[in-house]
Amino acid sequence: MTPLKATLAPRTAFATPLMGDTLFGQLCWAIRHGWGETRLTELLLDGFTAGRPFLVVSDAFPAGYLPMPALPSRYWREEADPSRRKALKRRVWLAEKELAQPLGDWQRLAKTSEEGGAAAESRAQPRNSLNRLTLATGKGAGFAPYTVRQHWYPPGARLDIHLRLDEARLSQADLGQALDAVGVTGFGKDANVGLGKFTLEGLQTHIPPHQPDANAWLTLALCAPQGLGLDAQRSYYRPFTRYGRHGAEAVLLGNPFKAPLLLAAAGAVFSPGSSGSEMDVPFIGQGLGGEGQLSKVLRRTVHQGYAPVVGIHLPQGEGQ
C-alpha cells in the first residue's frame, strides 16, 4: 500500500473530533456520492473484513507530529524533580524528526498541544429548540436552551492525516477528490450549519518514519487488536468505546445507531506475539462489521478497525 500524508487547513470550528475511523466513513460516503454505490461496494466487499482494506486513515495530528505512546512511566527517563511529572504528562505530541531518538527520551522531547501549534479551543455554543408548528422557541417549560461543544483551531493551524492507500483499487487523484468533497461539505456533526470545513493543502507520498530495530508498533488511529496474536505483556493502550451513527441519507432508514465497538485509542503500542513477525507493515487491526453485525437497517455496514502504524523499539524489561 502507498503511504500518503494529507495536510489539512481547518476553515471553521469542528463539532466532531477529526478521528480516522469517522473520516474513513465520510470518505466512503464521498465515494458513493461521487462514483456511485456500485463503486463503493466493490471497494468495501473486496477483502475489507479479511485484512485487505483499500484505504486506512489516521487521526488528525498537528503538522509534523505524532501522538506520544500510551506507555507506563517506567519507560521514561523522568526528570528528578517530582513536581515536573504532571507537566511532563501534558506533552502529548512528538515531532517526527525526534522518532530516531531513544524511546526513553521521548517524554522530555515531546510538546504540549499549545507548543504543537494546533491546540483546539473548546467552546460552548448556545442553542435552542424550535417548535416546527409555530417556528418559535416556545414559552415557559417550552423554552429549552442547550449548548453544544465546538472545537476551534488557531489561525494558521495545519493538521496531518496519515493514509495507506491501495492504488490498484483507488487512485491517489480520486482520494484527493474525495477529501476535497468532505472538506467542502463539512466533517462530522453540524456540517449542515457550516461546521467541520477544511481545505486540502497537500496529498503526497510520505514514507513513514520508524526506529531502528523496531520490535513494536505505535498506532495512529483507533484500532481493533482483538485476536491478532499480539504479546499482551508488552502491549499498552487506552480503551475507547465507539458509539457509532449512520451518516448522510442512512440516518433516514429508521435507526441511526450502530452497535458499540471497543477499540484501542491512537497512541497504543502493540508487540507481535512471535519474535519472527514481519515488522514492516503498513497497518494493523481488522475490518469490522458486515452481515448485520453493526447495523440491522444497513446490513453491509463496516467500520475501520485498522490503524496505520509506525515501527518503534520498545526496550526489554522495566523500561531499560
pLDDT tens-digit series, residues 233-246 = 999 999 999 998 88
* Average of per-residue pLDDT across 241-260: 86
DSSP, res 316: S
User: E-strand spans in 23-138?
Assistant: 55-62, 65-67, 93-95, 121-127
How far does Cα 248 stand from its chain's mean position?
A: 20
* Average of per-residue pLDDT across 252-268: 91
User: Has residue 276 got a pLDDT over 70?
Assistant: no
pLDDT digits (tens, 9 = 90+) for 150-164: 999 999 999 999 999
Cα distance between residue 222 and residue 288, in whole Å: 12
User: Has residue 79 got a pLDDT over 70?
Assistant: no
Higher pLDDT, 92 or 134: 92
**Opening angle at CA 291, ends 294 and 219, nearest 5:** 55
Q: Which of 9-18, 24-33, 115-124 is the least confident region?
A: 115-124
Whether 210 and 97 have beta carbons less than 8 Å apart is answered as no
User: Has residue 138 got a pLDDT over 80?
Assistant: no
Whether 44 and 191 have beta carbons less than 8 Å apart is answered as no
Cα distance between residue 23 and residue 291, in whole Å: 22
Cα distance between residue 126 and residue 13, in whole Å: 14
How far does Cα 133 stand from its chain's mean position?
A: 40
DSSP structure string for 5-45: EEEEEE-S-BSS---HHHHHHHHHHHHHHHH-HHHHHHHHH
Cα distance between residue 180 and residue 203, in whole Å: 11
pLDDT digits (tens, 9 = 90+) for 170-218: 999 999 999 999 999 999 999 988 999 999 999 999 987 888 889 999 9
Pick from 122, 127, 124, 157: which is nearest to 17 by CA? 122
| Range list of H helices, the chain | 20-35, 37-45, 85-89, 106-109, 172-185
pLDDT for 121? 87
Higher pLDDT, 248 or 260: 260
Give buried/exposed letters for 98-109 (b at 16+ CB in 10 A, else e). bbeeebeebbee
- For residue 54, the tally of other CB atoms under 10 A from its CB is 22
DSSP structure string for 260-309: PEEEE-TT-EE-BSSTT-----SEEEEEEE-TTSS-SSSTT-EEEEEEEE
The pLDDT confidence band at residue 320, using thresholds 50, 70 and 90, is very low
